[in-house]
Amino acid sequence: MQLNWDNLKVKMSDPVRTTVREMKFEAMTPVQAACIPLLLSNKDIAAEAVTGSGKTCAFLIPMIELILKRHKEKPLQKHEILGLVISPTRELATQTSEIVDKFCANIPHVNQLLIVGGNSVNQDIAKLYKQGGHIIVATPGRLEDLLTRQKISDYNIHLALKSLEMLILDEADRLLELGFEKSLNAIFQYLPSQRRTGLFSATQTKQVALLIRAGLRNPVMVTVKEKNNAANVTGETSVSNDLSTPSTLSNYYMIVEPKLKLATLISFIRTQDPHTKFIVFFSTCAAVEYFSYVLNSILSVPGQASRPVLALHGKMRERRHKIFGEVRAWGSKGGILVCTDLMARGVDIPCVDWVVQYDVPGSELN
């Protein structure tokens, strides 16, 4: 059953409708139909939704609608932060920021800022002071730095956050897996208690349940097991042991001797069309560096254009952002991304044909 935007239980403003049309979202997803009205009715929500379920717009649309409502009541000030999205990785934060940009293009008086490191704390503060940011998309480590290490300056981020309308914890289970629980609890101390909070996660683990208790008030639980299924909405926090797998995903496995794994992978890649896109997961950063070099050396054919092989892992720091941009710019061209579970969930790389787990995943969720 298609969920028409006209049937949304709350009214969307013209700029938001325009942006939704421009992004060619002809119908709502179940998680959007459930979460948008709840967040716009002063509810905290904890949503369990599979990758590809449309959760980014499920929280950005109500966030922007609340900011527009505030602007009607009182013109926005340059140094007010009204929406805050915390993402586990630079890549996911960058992707979310790009979607925010699409909405802001139709709302000139609302701007946003991406804060993910790469600069000093003072440089980020200077950027906030110069251009402001009504919506901040940030990684938790850098945001904690800004809140706890800011020296005296013309910009007071603590004061700016007193205007906060909505906090979003995106990929919350991933935030916890990466060890950001202490950072999140530190950040909560600087945020106003009278805010709406949305937590989005692929699973509801015990750790996520504890985070819900710490950061949300009487949350409504929203569960979408498959991206086309209706959302289940309850008032209870539960812990799920089920794995959420998109219904259109086909899984295969092959049993080979360890010494034949690399040869099998190379043989499989060579049997595919040159325009095929692969993501190949390895368990360590060192393995990513080594096997990306090996694959590039073996698959390159002198005198012929070969598909690019790019490596991406958590220790790359500044190069990660550039490489992530290159991967997303592949378009219809083929390529091989060799990476750790940094890219396991939440990040949208269009038209990937094959995802290969070379090593057994460290977590069943990845």
Q: How far apart are CA 119 and CA 108, in angstroms?
A: 26
Answer yes or no: is pLDDT of 1 > 60.
no
Same fold, 3-234 and 258-357: yes
Provide the mean pLDDT of the chain.
Answer: 85
Q: 3-state DSSP call for residue 85? A: strand
Do the strands 27-28 and 3-4 form a parallel or antiparallel pair, or are they unpaired?
antiparallel
pLDDT tens digit sequence for 266-294: 999 999 988 899 999 998 899 999 999 99
Domain parsing of the chain, residue ranges: 3-234, 258-357
- Whether residue 138 contacts residue 85, with contact meaning beta carbons closer than 8 Å, is answered with yes
325 close to 347: Cβ distance less than 8 angstroms: no
Residues 320-349, mean pLDDT to the nearest whole number: 78
Percent of the chain exceeding pLDDT 90 equals 49
> pLDDT class for 53, splitting at 50, 70, 90?
confident
Residue 345: pLDDT band (50, 70, 90) is low
- pLDDT for position 220: 93
Structure tokens at 101: 């940009």
Query: How far apart, in Å, do the first and last CA atoms of the chain sit?
Result: 30
State how far the Cα of 3 lies from the Cα of 301, in Å rounded to an integer: 49
Q: What does the alpha-carbon distance between residue 366 and residue 360 come to, in Å, rounded to a whole number?
A: 10
CATH 3.40.50.300 fits 258-357, yes or no: yes
pLDDT-derived band at 245 (thresholds 50, 70, 90) equals low
- Average pLDDT for 151-171: 86
Give the tokens for residue 87: 């993402």
Confidence of residue 259 (pLDDT cuts 50, 70, 90): very high
pLDDT surpasses 70 at 303:
no
pLDDT per residue over 84-135, tens digit each? 999 998 889 999 999 999 999 999 899 999 998 777 888 888 888 888 899 9
> Residue 248 class from Cβ within 10 Å (0-12 exposed, 13-18 middle, 19+ buried)?
exposed
What's the rounded mean pLDDT across residues 248-258? 86
Domain 3-234 is in which class? alpha beta
Q: Residues near 318 by Cβ (< 8 Å), separated by ≥ 6?
A: 118
Angle formed at CA 232 by CA 95 and CA 92, multiple of 5 degrees: 10
pLDDT digits (tens, 9 = 90+) for 12-32: 999 999 999 999 998 899 999
**Which residue's structure tokens are 């000093």?**
120
Cα 365 from Cα 201, distance rounded (Å): 11
DSSP string, 137-203: EE-HHHHHHHHHHPPS-S--HHHHGGG--EEEETTHHHHHHTT-HHHHHHHHTTS-SSSEEEEEES-
Do residues 155 and 135 lie in contact, with contact meaning Cβ atoms separated by under 8 Å?
no
Specify the 3-state DSSP secondary structure of 343: helix
In this model, does residue 52 exceed pLDDT 80? no
